[in-house]
Structure 1
């Protein structure tokens, strides 16, 4: 019987049965046919394509899962990943003629129409192919509860639609492919869609390992997942399972002895079930990293909605060993439920072409239980408003070196109460007594505030702010929440001399990125949490990326690393913390504390790894923090970056770097140690590249050039480092010019989801 004949037979039977009842024969048959045709046109493309929502898996750098994201708990598997036993069980109980007959069964449909049309119980009476169509309509195509109800309504039109699409499938796909798709789409209770999710949920196994009793239980649940729930109704589930086993015996799939043994087996299902948590709240200590990954992917063009249905595999850069060490450190320094005190740590690996993020942790748990100290605010990655204090002196120092200064230069240290002319009314004091002058290297280690505010008078505030953004504090250049001026623009417009004291919003991740820039010989790369992304078919997904750039000359970065190398030495602000941790590695480091100790920060880098910790009051009404074991909220704070933040870093990094060689810091460059003759840098932005390069060489500078896509005319200089105009640099220093390609490429298409 051909498909057209079978469909005609179904329509004729339907017309005869309903003549004089629900529909007149004349007109009724046409209406039913129209419904069937329209339904087939609406449904068949998706059904034929086999597109189903499935779980996205987020893994660590080694491929071990850390989180799952889904709207439906479904894992798509191939035919060879499903046991023969499972296939036999579902065919035995649902459609014993599946392999020998068509995708639709006119006799069964006629029987269903008799029952349904005369008010009897609703009859499914469907082949497995028709059931696949129905399940696809209900669980995949339907987007709303109303659409789901329509997909399961007991009407002649729906049955004819299913029949028509089933016939299309039967002629387009093999029986095994139809059966595989059916087993991937069918709902099996307890939020398990498809046989793979069900095998894991009920038995903590994979579908290729299902035994006869297990397969029979799942096949029996298809009729009513709620009524045959093995946890809620174990007796009913056992009875139904044994019906399936007996059907398998009758059809020769099992011998009588095998059937008897399977029927005597226990269900093997115990509460709690082996379901998987949905989202980053189920990622445990990896929750903050997971949250950052989702934000990163969203900005790259893969939305949360796509992730929850697209079946992606996202392999991150998370190093589980580094995460464990970092988490142990933050919890050891500040217990997770300590009121008002959050301890955060970010770890970034330096490199010439990428800066993978290895750890993002907080003493707080990631979750919704506030009473247990949990939060879903991404503490290690999002800037916190209390600032990082004197850590920002790094940027003032880098700007000074870029303009011809040296780490060996002696700089003045004004006394307490120094009023800088940069910002009228701004008065700065030191926390302690200092000599009237220090070398820049010693000033970085001892951190007198007045010295760096005074140094800003030499560099200018704008170059310091621009240096911070180039080296890794990229959020400072982001537009304000209302689309207004960025923090960087505001600081420059208001000439805020307090910038060097770290009052701007700061995240541990960005500080760790700054350390990675220095440890990468001045190359900034975006902190990257993604190793690879593949779609449901296993094909790689290309993400748009921001190119690395030379933030500062290599010689400057290498020399500044040495300039920051005394912080862990006697007299340095983190010396006590380093000694307590048994720290023995050359390190570039800087501490910071806000004015009333509402927060403290520490950033440090070795050639192998960079990390940053910020400890701060994370309540809605921040108060000062007092140093202690653990730190506490208090009225007059004495938290410093050299105690809890530095202790957190040294404890974590001692473990993370264990077994790796102790490497020296990079070699210094004499120009940036003793300084040099500083001369004005011509401003060449907006000039033709050849003309600009010639002017800079004539002024006594070396020149490097690169090109970026930009809307300016081709060959026009659109970037210059160090900046020209009022800026100065050492004679002979290399100036980096960036010219425009003359066009801006179209944005990449959004990844398929």
Structure 2
């Protein structure tokens, strides 16, 4: 809080100026007694008291590391975002234009190289000038200003009280004086001047001469002209008051005052002075976008990285320590993001569900991981990353869990996922194969009702799960109830075949296999990851909400033949001085027998050649699975090759059980909603933009004991008269009715 102002000491009045003169003279007397002639302590009690008071002041300046922006980079070294509380780019003195040094010394401290930190001659000159003229002139040396800025910076970092110039007491000023003298004994003049140029504020969050040069003129500090240097030197006295951006006329007048001082002190010639005065300001404002809102690319991935660092005790014991390191520590963070794939995914998303042509509640996202490594290569979505409340804006990440590993102290800023629908069925097939059964086993997929009291094998429920209500599962379109193979049942996404599998399995088995593969409850908050719920509908609906990243990881486990790799985003984290900080290591484990994963891959490839993905083929070996929940509010396409696993999700993120059938999506309304109609084509759009940018080797065939003996084909029958032979349901053979 600013001290109250007494009219008696108001330096705007003649009496005030005289009082100020004697006050400063007294201060100088203390300095002279305490510093210049220590022996004066014996001359009298007043001098002795002054010296004692002065001696009790701190004599060592505590200097912390200056705040520097942290940078997040993609895998190719391109910038993702810059995070900072203070935009500062430290430079050495030889990287600063001599024009800048001359301008600053001329206006702030022309005797800098002559005094020892405190300029008594300057103090008396300032007092005389202030008493005898209408101009206010300061007397703080550059060393004192450096000390003052260091104290402010330290207090800001440590949460201490910050005292600005207009609030200082005599004691504050004496402390500043003593510290200035101490600094002069510790550091060379050039070291102090370099420190000063790097710490002083120039505008808002712009600190230091290099950042100011880049911000105001988009030039390096070493290349500042006389006119540019004079402008910046003038700004230091009042970054807001003399701001060339906010107060250009005032700033120009101040610049010319600095040029006058440079001429008066002999630092420039008359010709240089006149040319600089005649030069317009010619600002070239070049702000450094701050934090993920100003990300150059992939703002939601940036947000994910931000939360990973803030959640990890490897970067500080307490969250405030981690925040200080991330926003002030000058970290260089290299990530797994692939910009080529990221840009392709974002373009596909924008073409499918651009926020300008899509209802605000409709979200669309894609996330890709690399099988066998867990590297996150893509994380994109259709909303604008901004906290401003408007349709199409959101800072929440559609791709990730609410909490990291279910730990409520580690917020990830995610929505926590959505019902996976039929994309979950491959895990039931995995459990089927793991139990020793085959893909070509035939099952009765006729429609039936499971009455209340039906018992299902469930080891994690004490042996059995008992249905509490009658239940009649239906296939998409309420059609295609027939006996067929497990392989065909997945390719055509028949719910009744999946339920027939579950009747012969332990319900807990497929949830355990999905969990081991990386799929979990994205909204868990019990301190650890949780499996999705165990009940019969979960065999083809997931039994809860899974995040797109979780689903992409699960399908990457299939692609890597059962090798599950934890999602990985951080490659390296380095401090400003090059020290390597720890990052989570690649963590992979074989969670599924290879032949089981190979069998699932055979079935999901059949989805692409004879099922709901038939129109989504891209000319390379691809496997996939579509998914739609019962409410038509959440749709998916899981597309994967041997080198890339991608979850493409589109759904109602604001009202989970509200259908999208009457919503505007990319400027159109879809009368029919399922994963093969929107999420799938968007994935195809993405993949077709990046041919050859990901691994797509042929999938290995499963062994014969996993495939099993194919059933004999049915005997042909005579076609019925007037029958539409375009497909099972008159839909041009696309089988869109079986998502």
Q: TM over 0.5: same fold?
A: yes
| Maintained 8 Å contact 2:533/2:543 | no
User: Is 1:297 matched up with 2:309?
Assistant: yes
Deviation of residue 574 (structure 1)?
A: 2.0
Instruction: Quote the residue 2:217 is aligned against.
Output: 203
Instruction: Quote the residue 2:420 is aligned against.
Output: 388
Q: The residue matched to 1:533 in structure 2 has which SS?
A: strand
Deviation of residue 484 (structure 1)?
A: 8.0
Deviation of residue 599 (structure 1)?
A: 0.7
Q: 1:156 to 1:10 in 2, by over 3 A?
A: farther
Instruction: Quote the residue 1:11 is aligned against.
Output: 34
Q: 1:675 to 1:515 in 2, by over 3 A?
A: farther
Could you tell me which of 485, 496, 513 is aligned with 2:553? 513
Instruction: Quote the residue 1:639 is aligned against.
Output: 673
TM-score where L is the length of structure 2: 0.79
Deviation of residue 252 (structure 1)?
A: 5.1
Q: 1:502 to 1:475 in 2, by over 3 A?
A: closer
Instruction: Quote the residue 2:22 is aligned against.
Output: none
Deviation of residue 330 (structure 1)?
A: 1.4
Instruction: Quote the residue 1:342 is aligned against.
Output: 362
Q: Any unmatched runs of 5+ in structure 2?
A: 1-27, 316-321, 401-413, 457-465, 711-739
| Maintained 8 Å contact 1:491/1:499 | no
Instruction: Quote the residue 2:564 is aligned against.
Output: 524
**1:122-172 C-alpha deviation (Å, 9 max, x unpaired):** 864122121111011123424699822267633332222222222332232
C-alpha distance in structure 1 between counterparts of 2:449 and 2:77, whole Å:
56
Deviation of residue 447 (structure 1)?
A: 0.5
C-alpha distance in structure 1 between counterparts of 2:324 and 2:540, whole Å:
41
C-alpha distance in structure 2 between counterparts of 1:209 and 1:276, whole Å:
19
| Maintained 8 Å contact 1:341/1:632 | no
Instruction: Quote the residue 1:438 is aligned against.
Output: 484
C-alpha distance in structure 1 between counterparts of 2:447 and 2:500, whole Å:
11
C-alpha distance in structure 1 between counterparts of 2:189 and 2:46, whole Å:
37
Q: The residue matched to 2:232 in structure 1 has which SS?
A: helix
Q: The residue matched to 1:614 in structure 2 has which SS?
A: strand
**1:13-63 C-alpha deviation (Å, 9 max, x unpaired):** 89999xxxxx965634433432x22xx45xx122xx5x1222222233333
Instruction: Quote the residue 1:500 is aligned against.
Output: 540
Instruction: Quote the residue 1:679 is aligned against.
Output: none
| Maintained 8 Å contact 1:32/1:156 | no
Q: Any unmatched runs of 5+ in structure 1?
A: 18-22, 677-753
Q: The residue matched to 1:428 in structure 2 has which SS?
A: coil
| Maintained 8 Å contact 1:342/1:617 | yes
Q: 1:14 to 1:60 in 2, by over 3 A?
A: farther
* Structural mapping, 1:289-688, within 5 Å: 289-301=301-313, 302=315, 303-337=322-356, 338-339=358-359, 341-352=361-372, 354-381=373-400, 382-384=414-416, 386-415=418-447, 417=449, 421-422=455-456, 423-424=466-467, 425=469, 426-432=471-477, 433-434=479-480, 436-475=482-521, 480-481=524-525, 483=526, 487-488=530-531, 491-492=533-534, 495-545=535-585, 547-569=587-609, 571-576=610-615, 578=616, 583-620=618-655, 622-626=657-661, 630=665, 638-658=672-692, 663-674=697-708
Could you tell me which of 102, 108, 129 is aligned with 2:116? 102
C-alpha distance in structure 1 between counterparts of 2:164 and 2:245, whole Å:
30
Deviation of residue 90 (structure 1)?
A: 1.8
**1:468-504 C-alpha deviation (Å, 9 max, x unpaired):** 111121446x8x43x389652x724xx4542432241
More off after superposition, 103-112 vs 611-620:
103-112
Q: 1:177 to 1:522 in 2, by over 3 A?
A: farther
**1:343-393 C-alpha deviation (Å, 9 max, x unpaired):** 4333334253x3221221112211123324101111122355541101111
C-alpha distance in structure 2 between counterparts of 1:142 and 1:660, whole Å:
47
Root-mean-square deviation (CA), in Å?
3.6
Aligned length: 643
**1:426-466 C-alpha deviation (Å, 9 max, x unpaired):** 43211143353333222221111121122123331222111
C-alpha distance in structure 1 between counterparts of 2:551 and 2:120, whole Å:
70
TM-score where L is the length of structure 1: 0.77
| Maintained 8 Å contact 1:61/1:317 | yes
Instruction: Quote the residue 1:178 is aligned against.
Output: 192
Q: 1:633 to 1:90 in 2, by over 3 A?
A: same
